[in-house]
Structure 1
Amino acid sequence: MITHEDRKLRTLAGQERWAELLDVYRRTRAAGVALGGDAHGAAAAAPAGHLIAYGAPPELAARLFDPDGAPGSTATVGDHDAGPLWEVLATRHSWRRLAPLLGPAPVRRLVAHTRVLLGEDLRHDAEPDREAVPLALEHWETAGWDERSRVREYLRDGGARRALLALPAGREGLGPVELPAPGRVASSGQEATRLLGGFSPWAEAICVRGTAPDAAAQLASGRQVTGGFIPFAQAYPALVQAASDDPAAGTAQGRLALWRVLAAMTGEPRVVAREIERLIARLRCFTWSDPADELHYLHAAIEDPATGLAWALSGGTYETLAGGLVCDG
């Protein structure tokens, strides 16, 4: 239902009265913070923030994040409507346009990584990433991922479209598989397991000593499944999407989360690109379908033959979603 306030905001945007709309945003957010805290203020101002981030000139839209207003009036990394306000802004303008305008380091970093996801190579145009995550996509990141589906497609007046999260997306290339007895839960590899388990509240992660099917057997609903091995590049988009499957999270946060997992799988305390490249080259990834799968699901297991460890991630939201992912690693 479109309210009077919604019409007022859209009228200001339609007439490109951006300075007035920014003032409305700031007053609304500050009043909400005073009434119910930062989350309340962010939610109250979100519709106006979306309109500004989407449609305003970058010089004004970037001021959403400038701390030059009243206390509580500044957008943060967590402010979102259909998606994070910083991600909306990043989909609308190139890094060259935005870089001189963005001050806050967390917002600046996420905008840069969003532009990387959208195809920009910022290795020479942005400050090095503090976790050493590359500022250009690796070949295995692009191999199975259409550029048009990497980041939400935002709509002018609010809302967004996003590619469906489903792994496996279909049964092509899969076949009947009898899973082995569940593998023995490993005492090592726990940092990667912890990070993987933080991807989504609807997915469960586990690490075993064994193969990808051994790990899958821990989380699959039965021993008889339809499944098969796939390239890690094919699983990669779903893993990133699972780690950013919330309106408050952007795809850049999902990518950063997965790079942390991969770094943990190499045993390094931080991202070392050459070690992750070697890891990706040897990973074996297994996926399977589950009878409960509907629209939104992930089943993957990742096996690393060099360490003898395999991680599985599986789950879904079964009212409108479902699924699982397993990768040997």
Structure 2
Amino acid sequence: MAGGAVQGRAATATAPLGHLIAYAAPPEVAARLFDPDGGPGTAAAVTDHDAGPLWEVLATRHSWRRLAPLLGPPPVRRLVAQTRVLLGEDLSRDAEPDREGVPLLLEPWEAAGRGEGAPVREYLRDGGARSALLTLPADREGLAPVELPEPGARLPGQPATRALAELAGWARAVCVRGTAPQAAAQLAPGRAVTGGYLPFALAWPALVQAGVADRAHGAAHGRLALWRVLAAMSGAGAAGCADRGEVGALVARMRCFTWEDPADRLRHLHLALEDPATGLSWAVSGSEEV
């Protein structure tokens, strides 16, 4: 049997033990999951997971102050810190700055969105996790029959479109010159839809969760990916680093439009984002089983 297959079977066999250690062991012990010197079977990779990645399990159990001195690998430190931020902890003074400029505390519009739906899984001691299925639109409340206008002209090659497509790899993304409904018309099933406008804070939980591609990813991946989208839309991400002020100004002026698709499966996202300052709008639309 090939070495990779043997390692894969071993990882599967030890996954429940890793989950239990990350969930219930003292942090001084659990942090050794990410330390190659911790002994056989303990060098968990960033993506090692049971119901979710072990670093996310660990991050839901202890504060950053408790975990920071124990975590060595920079990728793990970053993801744990971002998870603690998503859980409401302010790390703006206690953690090293994020390399992409993503704030180490929730912005007001993120905090408002977190009240609508928490994207971080709730892990269980014996394995598995509970998590809300955050879809958009979540229901028909606030929506009404709408006749979409003619689709706006597509603008190919936009960095924000690529970032949006990477955020939700199971959905299509476009950019148009025009309004949010004109962007929606590019991807909606027809001109007559059930749709409506909503604040960005209501869209935030579903967008963060869209970036959780599979169980090997955690909500921190979604937040980081969404900030890349917003930085690109604001034009502040060209140097690979988000500008908090520019992103905040974009969110404040942005107009968000969502719509239903009769063919929706369990997980779905239909959203158009309009920046009135530039006259550009982006739409992302797709659905899949989970």
* Counterparts of 1:138 and 1:33, CA distance in 2: 48
Give 2:136's match in structure 1, choosing from 167, 173, 193.
167
Output the amino acid matched with 2:198: I
8 Å CA contact retained: 1:33, 1:41: no
Indicate whether 1:306 and 2:271 are aligned. no
1:138 matched to which residue of 2? Answer: 107
Give 1:256's match in structure 2, choosing from 224, 243, 246.
224
Output the amino acid matched with 2:153: R
Indicate whether 1:290 and 2:290 are aligned. no
Shift of 1:200: 3.0
Q: How does 1:1-329 map to 2 (within 5 A)?
A: 34-36=3-5, 41-69=10-38, 74-146=43-115, 149-187=118-156, 190-268=158-236, 269=238, 270-317=241-288, 320=289
Q: TM-score, normalised by structure 1?
A: 0.82
Shift of 1:150: 3.0
The number of residue pairs the alignment matches comes to 287
Shift of 1:201: 3.3
Give the secondary-structure state (helix, strand or coil) at the position aligned to 1:108: helix
When residues 96 and 33 of structure 1 are mapped into structure 2, their CA distance, relative to the original with a 3 A threshold, is farther
* Counterparts of 1:273 and 1:42, CA distance in 2: 40
* Counterparts of 2:201 and 2:31, CA distance in 1: 34
When residues 192 and 71 of structure 1 are mapped into structure 2, their CA distance, relative to the original with a 3 A threshold, is farther
8 Å CA contact retained: 1:42, 1:80: no
When residues 72 and 195 of structure 1 are mapped into structure 2, their CA distance, relative to the original with a 3 A threshold, is farther
Structure 1 stretches of 4+ moved >6 Å: none
Tell which has more relative contact order, 1 or 2 (C-alpha 8 A, sep 6+): 2
Give the secondary-structure state (helix, strand or coil) at the position aligned to 1:145: helix
- The CA deviation string for residues 35-73 of structure 1, in whole angstroms up to 9 with x for no partner, is 427655544432221111111111100000002156885
Flag structure 1 segments of 5+ consecutive residues without an equivalent: 1-31, 322-329
User: Which protein shows a greater Rg?
Assistant: 1
Flag structure 2 segments of 5+ consecutive residues without an equivalent: none
* Counterparts of 1:35 and 1:260, CA distance in 2: 34
Q: TM-score, normalised by structure 2?
A: 0.93
> Over the residues paired in the alignment, what is the CA RMSD in angstroms?
2.0
* Counterparts of 2:110 and 2:2, CA distance in 1: 39
